[in-house]
Structure 1
Amino acid sequence: GEKAGLIPTRAWKRNVKGTKWQQGETLLAGIGQGFILATPLQMAVMISRLVNGGRLVVPSMTRTVVPFAGKPPEYTTPPSFKNMGVHASHLGLVRKAMVAVINSPFGTAYKARIKEPEFFMGGKTGTVQVRRISETERESGVLKNKELAWRERDHALFVGYAPLEIPKYAISVIVEHGGSGASTAAPVARDILLELQKRDPNSGSGAMQERREVRLEPEFQAKQFLREG
C-alpha cells in the first residue's frame, strides 16, 4: 500500500527526535521543507482539495472501464465530499497564486504554460533537495545541478490542475534528479493536462473568466497581486 506522509508537530519531534521544536522549523514546514513527507498521490489529492472548494476529496483507482453488451459504459455520479472548513478567501488566494505561477510572465513556470486560453492550467513548481549542503559549500558557492553527479541532483516537482474555472484534473509530477521543477516537471504536466482536456468532449470552456479575475496582463506585478489577495 501507499506509505504514510508526515506533517511534523511539536509533539512529534519531541517524541521521535527527542528535541524541542525550533522557530525556524515552522518556516521550513510552511514552504514544504524540513521533516515533511508526501507521496505523489498525496500531493495530487492536496491540489484537488484546494481547487474544489476545500472539500475532502478521497481518490479511488480504476484499472479499466469495459462496455457491457456493446453499450458505452455508464459512469456513476461522483460522491459528495465533506467540506474541510477552510475559509474561502484563503483557498482563493492560493488558487490565484497557482494560476499566476503558470500564466503570469513573472511566474516560475511561465515557459511551460498552456497557450490555448480554453485549456489554461494552474500549478506550483518545486525542488526536492536530496543531499546535504555543507557550510563550507555555502560559503564558497552552492554547486549547480549540472555540476553534480546525477544521483546528487535535486528532484524536480510540479503539482497542478485544469481547467481553471471548473477543475476536473489534478496532477503531480516528480522527475527523479531532474533538477528544476519549472523546466523539467512542469512541461510533463502541461503535456498531460493539455492532452486530457483535448480528449474530453466537455472540456475547453470557462477558462477565460478566471484568467481575467487574476489580471494576468503583461504589467502584472507579484507584489501587487499579493496585496490584492
Structure 2
Amino acid sequence: MGTPDIIEAAAQAWMASVGAIAEAVPGGQRTEREPGLALLATGAPLAAVNGVFDVRAAPRVAGIGDLAKRAAEAVDAPWCIQYRTGPDAEIAGVAADHGLTSTARSPFMVRQLGERTPAGGPLPAGLTVRALGAGDSAVFVSALAAGFEAPVETMSPLGCPEMLALPCATGYLAELDGDVVGTGLALRAEDCVGVFNISVLPARRRQGLGAAVTGAILRAEQDRGARVAYLHASDMGLSLYESLGFRTVEQWTRHTR
C-alpha cells in the first residue's frame, strides 16, 4: 500500500469510526449525503465531535452547505465544519453564514504497524494498560474527565456503555501501581485503527506515560490485525506522536464558533 493509499484509507476509517459512534450514542445522529460526506453528531458539548465532515480528497461546497443547514436545525450542541484540505474560501463562507467564524488546523498523522516498526518499548514498572468493555463505562468516563480536566457530563457521551459495546471500539485504562493515571480509545475500521482520547492525569504528566499508553494501545491493536494507525494531534501531543513514528500527512481544517 503506497502512501496516498494509506492516507485515503485512514481518512475513510476516521469517518466510518466516528460515524459508528454517532449512531450508537443516545441522541446521536448520522446522515450520510454521499460517500465521504456526512452529518455526524454525538451530542457531546464539543464542536469537534458534532457537525459536517467531508473526508473526500477534494471537498465540494454544495454538499457541505446542504448538510450545514441541516446541522443548524438539528444539532443541539456546538458543531463544526471539517474537511481534509487547507481553508477553502467558499466553505468558509458557508461556515460564516452559520456563525462558524473561527478557523483552526488539525494535524492528521499516520504510521504503519508491523514487526519492523515497533510502537515504543516495554511499559514502565508498575504501569498496566487494560482494555475495557461496556460495563466499565463509569470508570472510563471518570478517568477521561480527570485527564482532560473537563466536567464528567462533557465526557459522558464519549465513554458511554453504548459506545464501548461497539465491536469497533475499545477503551483503555492506564493504572500505575493500582491508581488510574490515563486513558485511550481505539476505533477500528478494516485494517486501520484510530487512536483517540489519550489523556494523562495532570499530576502524572511529563513522566512518559502518554507515550507508554499510546504504545501499549498500538501493540494491542496490531495484535488484533491493524496495519495502519492514525490520529489527530494537538499541539501539545505532536512531538509525542512523532516520537512513536507518526508523521503528519495532512492538515485538516475545522470551522467553529
- Structure with the larger strand share: 2
For normalisation by structure 1, the TM-score amounts to: 0.27
For normalisation by structure 2, the TM-score amounts to: 0.25
Give the structure, 1 or 2, with the largest relative contact order (CA under 8 Å, sep 6 or more).
2
